[in-house]
Each structure stands twice: as C-alpha cells, then as structure tokens.
Amino acid sequence: MSFFERLKAAASAEWRAYTEHPFTIGMADGTLTEAAFRHYLVQDYLFLIEFARAYAVAVYKSPRLAPPAEEMLAYTRYVLDAGMRGDLLTLRVALAPCVVGYAEIAARLAARPDTCAATNPYRVWIDEYAGGPYQEVAAKTRAHLDRLANLYATPAREAELIAIFREATRLETDFWEMGWRVGPRVE
C-alpha cells in the first residue's frame, strides 16, 4: 500500500467527509445554490494564493537538483536573507536587479544589429527577455516596487534599501562573471 493510501486509510472518516461532502454532490446533481458556489469560489481563489505561498516554502525546502556554484549560493542566500529580515519592500528591492535587469539587458542587446543574426546561438535567450511578455513582467515589477516604496520607504530607510540594491546588483554581476570564467572566450 502506498504512503498516500496509508494516510487515507488512517483518516478514512475524514477523507470520506471531504470527498463525499454534500457540497460536491450538490455540484454533481446541480442542486447546489449559486450563492454557496460563489462564496466557495471567492474563498477558493484566496486559498490558491495562500497555497502558492505554501508551495514556495516547499520549493525552498526541497533538496538541490544540481551542485550549486558559490556565486549562485551567495546571491540566493543574500536575497533570501534580505527578505527574511526585512519586509516585502526589502525582498522586492533585492529581487529587482534580476527581474528588471534582465529586461534592460535584453532590450539593449536586442537593439544591436548583430544580436538578431540567425547564427547567434543566444538569440532565443535575448528574444525571450526582450520580448513583450517579459518586458511587461519587468514593468509590473517596477510599478509594484514603486507602490511598495510609496507605502513603506522613508528618507531614513532609503539608504538601507539602496545598499541592498547595490549588493544584489553586485551579486548579479558575480553571476555573469561566474559564467564568463568557465570557458575560453571568442575574441
């Protein structure tokens, strides 16, 4: 018997009460009131937001899939530490060099005439981050950062946030440098 089946067997009364609830039967035969379904649907939407947060914790606690480079660990640990010791604004400031930086870098690279050559093996990466969907993500990130700053940034706190942004940007640079050191360069 699988672990999940053992869990269900150990909680069989609770599982049946959940999976065979009159609400679900009302959905099946159409007798559930619209008000009941609407209330459920609104709450389910809110639940899914919290569920996504719980999955984020699961990702954080998951074992690594590949050996991490020192630069990757330094950067991610810095961002996580900033987020854990600060508020949402602190975390978003620490994440901004990555999210917004990729959009700016790719847009700059895409504007170069040699970037879009069919022979450029990195054209797909550049197109992805220079493309409309990712540029929209970056724009929304900047707007969200501005909204948070309007709510939580004070003149006294701005120096701390700038220091966090500088360090996260430096760690992003180290990330590029890590890749740059790996192989021979084509001159």
**pTM beyond 0.85, yes or no:** no
Please say whether the beta carbons of 91 and 82 come within 8 A: yes
Please state, in angstroms and rounded to a whole number, the distance separating the CA atoms of residues 180 and 187: 13
Report whether pLDDT(61) > 90: no
Q: What is the DSSP string of 107-148?
A: HHHHTSTTTT-TT-TTHHHHHHHHSHHHHHHHHHHHHHHHHH
Pick the CATH number of 70-182 from 3.40.50.800, 1.20.910.10, 2.120.10.80, 3.40.350.10: 1.20.910.10
The ranges of the chain annotated as CATH 1.20.910.10 are: 70-182
What tens digit of pLDDT does each residue of 116-128 get? 778 888 999 999 9
- Report pLDDT digits (tens) over 72-113: 999 999 999 999 999 999 999 999 999 999 999 999 999 998
